[in-house]
Structures are given as structure tokens and as C-alpha cells.
Structure 1
Amino acid sequence: MSSTPEAILAQLQAAGSAYAEKKPGAREQLLNLGYALVSSVELPSEAIQRMGWAEPAKAAHCRIAVELKLFESLKESGHQGISAKELAAKTGADEVLISRTLKHLAATNVVAETGTDKYIATDLSNALTEPRFRDGIIYTYDVAGPSFRHLPEYLKSINYTLPTQLTDGPFQAAHKTQLPFFAWLDQNPPYLEKFNNYMGAYRAGKPSWVDPGFYPVNERLAEGFDGSAGDGVLLVDVGGGLGHDLEDLKKKHPSLPGKLILQDRAEVISTVSGSNVFEAKAHDFFTPQPVKEARAYYLHSVLHDWGDEDCVRILEQLKPAIKRGYSKLLLNEIIVPDRNPTWPVTSMDQLVFILGAMRERTEAHWRKILDQAGFKIAKIYNYEMGSESLIEAELV
């Protein structure tokens, strides 16, 4: 990608036309070019200002707005909007504080300002009233945020060696705990709930493996399905959280045959509401898979939370359950390109690094892990400019 503003503007025009035609990957390309344009025209002093305090202030003020339900008040005010004075009266917060908070959120396009100290909601601020997005603000600021803010200090303290242990990394240093990330969540139920809610929001609006043109669901799963095998189970979502992926699968492919099974830790399954789409069962994926001979075993963003040896252990627990020539292993994961990965890919690599001292993997890395576990890749499916891929594998 050329770095001159003129070249980027020309590419933006082409990407804009593709976006208008609803071509796959056009939205993501517009995002990449938009960030590239900003980087090409801002001064070094402006870059430091943006990174050093404009973006941190935006994140902090969003967290405050969530706490004070400012986004809800803006949404309720409709097209008329609401003043800082009225918001102060509703929340009990200082009027000047409210005004300065919302001015920065307006300047950074989270809300809009319609007059002197009068504000109106935007599509973004309205979205932040939804529990899944609201919980995303809380989780990223309260849980992930401290790990990022303390990362330089932590790496300096260990002489810039590479952390690789789940129990000894940036997260533990920031939160002053010896617990791995997920064990810490289990002991902090409010954050466990927010994390699980946000996992559905993180992927909202992004290309999904169940979308047309991504993975041929009917061809690869429905066709050839044997209702007499594996107690009639079509797909087991291993470590599937609250079942967002299964809900999406059934919504977009309502005529799929067979049962859908959701598995996760007991602490997570206990929070799953009743569903007529799937059966929810507690299961530790480090123990043998109890559902035998299902058509597919699906893991979404599970293995990126674990080191290579643990990934092999998890996959080996599936092998005895798999029916050779029938069952498929589906891994929905990021595959880091060898060159020029996009910021959603690199930022997720950084997130798993600070939370679990883990990493996102290249195709070669995935092939090595699968080979060690006794699997081979049948095909890799992806979406143009999409962050995630679907690896279909089978027993060697």
C-alpha cells in the first residue's frame, strides 16, 4: 500500500465504489485506508497527542459514560438531544464534568453536539446502550486495560524476555494475581459475565464462517450427515461460551439437520439461558470428548488462548470421538499472514499476549500443531480482508 496521501485518496475512491456495491472486504479495506490516510497526514506531535492522551481519554470517558448511563439518556432524548445541565441533574454528577466529558466524546465522534452544551446520540452511542457492547467497554477498560498500561514496566522488569506462561505474564503483574486469566474470571463473576457477553459483540457485523461465500455449510456438513451416528449430533461447539455461534449458524441455516451441542466450563454453562437451538453441557476440553461420532467438532478462538503443547493436548482429546472419513474438525481462528497483516489481526495478537502470554499463529504454525496432534488440513476457508479463517481438518 502506497503511503502518500494522494495515492491513499485514490485507493479510497476505489474502495468507496466497492463498498457502495457491497463487495466482500470493501468495508474492511475502507477502514485500513482510513487509518493509513490519518497516519500519512498527521504530524509526529499529533500522533503522540492522539496516542498519548486523546485515545486514552476517549476510552476513559466511554467507561464513565457507561457507568453514569449517559448513552441511555442521550438515546431517550431522541432528536431533541439533551443538555449537560439536564444530564448532570439526572446523574448527580457535576455539570462542568459532564460537559467536558461529552465534548471530548463529540470531538472523537462517539456522540454529537448540536448546540452549546447540548448533545445528541449517534449510532455508536446507541449501540453502547446494548448490554453486549456496554459490557465490552467495561471488560476492555477494567480487565484488559491495566495489562496494556503496565506492559512497558512489566517487560522492563523481566529484561524484555518473552513471557510464555499462563500464570506468569502481563495480566498477573497488572492485576497482582497468580491465577491464569480464565481462572481469575471465574473468581470475579461480574467480569466473567461481561466477558461472555462481549464475545458475542466482538464479532457482530463481521464476516462469519456461516455466511454465504465463506464456508459451504450445506455441502460440507448437511450433505452426508448420518442421523444414526453420534446420537444424531451435527456439530459440537467446544468452548463455545454462551452459544452465539450456534445461534448464528441456526439462524442462517434453519434447515440444518441434527442436534447442536454447546460445551464450555461449568461456570460458563451455568449462565446460559434456555435455548431451543442447542443443548448446553459442561465439559473440560482437557478431558476426553464425551460426544462421539458427531459430524463436526468446532472450536472458535479457543486454541489461541493456549500454548502449543496445550493445543495439542486439547486436540488429542477429540481424536477418540472422531469417526474417520465422516467427522470434521473445524478451527475458527486468526491466521497471521506472513506479510502485511491488518491491525485487527495484530491487535488480537497483542490482546492474547497481555492476557495469557500467548500469540496468534501463521498457517505454518497451525499446520505444525495439527500435525503433532495427528490431524491434517483438508482446506482453509476465508473471506477477503476478513480477520478470521476456518481451518477444516481431518485425522491423518
Structure 2
Amino acid sequence: MAQDPSQVDTILSQLQTAGASYKANTPGAREKLMSLSYDLISKLELPSESIMRMGWAEPAKAANCRTAIDLKIFDHLKESGEAGITAKELALKTSADENLILRIMRHLAAMNVINEKSENTYSNTTLSDALSEPRYRDGILFLYDVARPSFQHLPEYLRNTNYALPTSVTDGPFQAAHKTDLTAFAWLDKTPPYLQAFNNYMSAYRSGKPSWVDPGFYPVSERLVEGFNPEYSDVLLVDVGGGKGHDLHELREKHPQLPGKLILQDREAVISSLSEKDGGVFEALSHDFFTAQPVKHARAYHLHSILHNWSDDDCVKILRQLRPAMKPGYSRLLINEIVVPPQKAGWPITSMDHVMLILAAIQERTEAHLVELLKKAGFRLVKIYTYESGQESLVEAEVDESQS
């Protein structure tokens, strides 16, 4: 099938413009370059090549990365530095067949995971170095061993349900793939190695991406610091379900002069695992967000990637527990989530929506969907802040005083 040269020319021109923006460190330029690069490939790639890539190139890449992690190949590459390492040397270090190692390395080099320095000699890349770190390595473990089988079973699952939208957290694609009636998160709790891998990966998932506390994203000073009134409460922000406090550490680091206290809330199992050094940044409280919020009249209540883990009904229940604790006209509700745009959503957003579909039969939400949930819980939307080409947004809402 013939490609349209005019479409290719248009993308090439746009790439030049985006390239200049990237050199000027324009926010969103990197993401724009990536998007245009994918567009260019899609216009140049033959249908037969697309099928090859989807059918065996990408699956082989994922499988080889998984094997490379088992054999600590990425660690050996990093240790070898610029000199690189031969397939024969890797075979000796891993006790694996040399020809097998060579074939794995060739494909990983072809897919730009590693660098091919010369015949049968390979060296590290930024990506392969990252895959030697526990948080990125565990991303491969979790996604290959836990998420991938669910994607693989999705077509069969949908056929068996006559293509009904999955809505049950205990009877969805994940359960069909892993032969369990547990929810994905309950299954993880009973499978400690993958629970640890999931938690580690979550610390890396947002690495390098714009954060709501970054300059130019959410106006922290204008919306939180200005107007802070310690007579209402000495708490500036409560991070509800905030895990180990990554957001609070980043908030304090990038805004060291913040007034008031920062409070971290999560399950007892998470809170008890925190180190003492966290005490200087925030106070940690065990709390179930399906129960009444105990911290009253804080300036803000923050939920990061909480609602996308729950059904609409559960989201409303979570939000309703916050409303009585908030002071109308003062307290702010901050929801840090993916907000699906009405059109031209990028693959990081659409693919995450599918991850939620296969793991928990839930979804990422549009602005209209979020507004509906907020209204049901007694809130009104103030504004949605989105960084240029960013994946996550910050939704600011407040108590709707018209609802008694």
C-alpha cells in the first residue's frame, strides 16, 4: 500500500519546528517530538511491518528484557562501561548458552534497548542502565508477569462476555488470566514478590514527568500558601492515601518555605513501614479513606491516583468522607489524576486506561465524568491544571455550598 508523501512532508516540517522548541527547552516539546515521531513511523510503516512489530518484534523485546533481568544482563552491561562486553563473556557470567545470549542481545540492540558496539560486543544505554535499578527492573517484572497475561486473555474474555464492558473487580480479565476470584490488589497482597515489584515500580512510573508541584503547573503559592489561616487549622495539606509520602517530600523540597504541617495518610501496613527520617517532612497517620476524615479544616486534601483505582460508586464514597472535614470557601480538594481529553488522547493515557480495564475493570475519566462524580459527592469543579503535553492533571475542587 502506497504512503501519502504529502502527509510525510507535513510531519517532517512539524518535527523541525518541534525540534527547535526542544532545543529551547519549551515545555511539552519533548512529548511533541515523541508524538510526531510515532506519527511518522505510522505513515511510513507498511501494514505487513506493523503486524510484524506487534506480532513478534515487541513481544520478543518484552520477553528478552524479562529474561535479561533474570540473568542480570543489564547489571553486567552497566558494569562493563564504555568498553562493552561480548556475548561470550555474558554467557560465562550468566551460565547461559552463548548462542542464546547472542540472539537475545541482537534483538535488544535492534530494538534500541542496548547498544551494539561491534560484532558480538554490546554496551549499555540509558534505558538498560535504568533496567538495572530495582524500581525500573520491577516494572518489567510486574508488567510482564502480572499485566501481560491479562492483556493476552482480554480478547477471549470479551468474546465470552459478548463484549460487555467489564465492571466487576472480582470477575474481569485479570481474574480470567490468573485463575482467581480475588481483586487484583488483594491478589497482590497475597503475592508478596509482585506486591513489592508493584510498589517499587510506582516510585518510578512518574519519574522525569512533570509534577503538580513544579513551577508552571499548579500555582502552589497563589492557591495554597496565600490565604492559609492557622486559626482554622495548622495543617496545610493532607495527602490522603499518599503511600510512602513521595509527593510530600517533593512538595517540601520544591517549596521549602511552606507554612503549616503536612499530613500523610495511608493504611497501617504502609504507615508502619516508614522510616523515622520522614518525620521531619510530614506527620504520618493511619487512615482508611472510606471512613470519616479525622483532620479538620486543612487548607487542602490531596488524592494522587486514588480515584482511578475505584468504581464510580466507591469514588463518591471516598469523596463524601472528605466533605464534612473541609471548611467551605477555604479548603481545597486536589485530585491528581489522568484526565482523558475529549479527542486526540495520547497513547500513555489510552494505554493506562486499558491497564485499569484489565486489572480492575475500571477506567481513567474525562472531565465531564469527574465533574459528575464531584457533584454527586457535594463538590464543584474550580479548575483543571494540565502541564504542556503532560499525562496527569491536577483537578481543583471545593465544597459546593449550594448542596446542604
Pairing of 1:1-396 with structure 2 (within 5 A): 4-230=7-233, 232-274=234-276, 275=278, 276-396=280-400
Q: How many residues align?
A: 394
- 1:3 is displaced (CA, Å) by 8.2
Segment of structure 1 superposing worse, 314-323 or 272-281: 272-281
Segment of structure 1 superposing worse, 267-276 or 151-160: 267-276
Which letter does structure 2 place at the counterpart of 1:66? I
Which letter does structure 1 place at the counterpart of 2:237? L
Q: Distance in 2 between matches of 1:198 and 1:272?
A: 18
- 1:340 is displaced (CA, Å) by 1.2
Q: Distance in 1 between matches of 2:19 and 2:187?
A: 44
Contact 1:12 1:33 (C-alpha < 8 Å) held by counterparts: yes
SS of 2:365's equivalent? Answer: coil
Segment of structure 1 superposing worse, 233-242 or 39-48: 233-242
Contact 1:135 1:195 (C-alpha < 8 Å) held by counterparts: yes
Q: Distance in 1 between matches of 2:273 and 2:141?
A: 19
SS of 1:248's equivalent? Answer: helix
Q: Distance in 2 between matches of 1:83 and 1:271?
A: 42
SS of 1:208's equivalent? Answer: coil
Q: Distance in 1 between matches of 2:68 and 2:286?
A: 36
- 1:278 is displaced (CA, Å) by 2.2
Contact 1:331 1:391 (C-alpha < 8 Å) held by counterparts: yes
Q: Distance in 2 between matches of 1:333 and 1:176?
A: 30
Q: Distance in 1 between matches of 2:372 and 2:6?
A: 35
- 1:270 is displaced (CA, Å) by 3.7
TM-score (norm 2): 0.95
Q: Distance in 2 between matches of 1:233 and 1:157?
A: 51
Which letter does structure 1 place at the counterpart of 2:92? A
1:135-163 residue CA offsets vs partner (Å, 9 max, x unmatched): 11111111111111111111111111111
1:187-246 residue CA offsets vs partner (Å, 9 max, x unmatched): 11221222112112111111111110110111111222233443x221111112222211
Q: Distance in 2 between matches of 1:271 and 1:86?
A: 40
Q: Distance in 1 between matches of 2:357 and 2:120?
A: 41
Consecutive unaligned residues in structure 1, runs of 5 or more: none
Q: Distance in 2 between matches of 1:195 and 1:241?
A: 12
Which letter does structure 2 place at the counterpart of 1:281? L
Q: Distance in 1 between matches of 2:48 and 2:84?
A: 35
TM-score (norm 1): 0.96
Identity %: 64
SS of 1:318's equivalent? Answer: helix
Contact 1:196 1:241 (C-alpha < 8 Å) held by counterparts: no
Q: Distance in 2 between matches of 1:267 and 1:354?
A: 26
- 1:292 is displaced (CA, Å) by 1.7
- 1:346 is displaced (CA, Å) by 0.6
- 1:133 is displaced (CA, Å) by 1.0
1:269-327 residue CA offsets vs partner (Å, 9 max, x unmatched): 34333313223332211111122221111011110111111110000011121122221
SS of 1:150's equivalent? Answer: helix
SS of 2:32's equivalent? Answer: helix
Q: Distance in 1 between matches of 2:105 and 2:272?
A: 38
Q: Distance in 2 between matches of 1:170 and 1:106?
A: 33
Q: Distance in 2 between matches of 1:153 and 1:358?
A: 19
Q: Distance in 2 between matches of 1:300 and 1:122?
A: 31
SS of 1:299's equivalent? Answer: strand
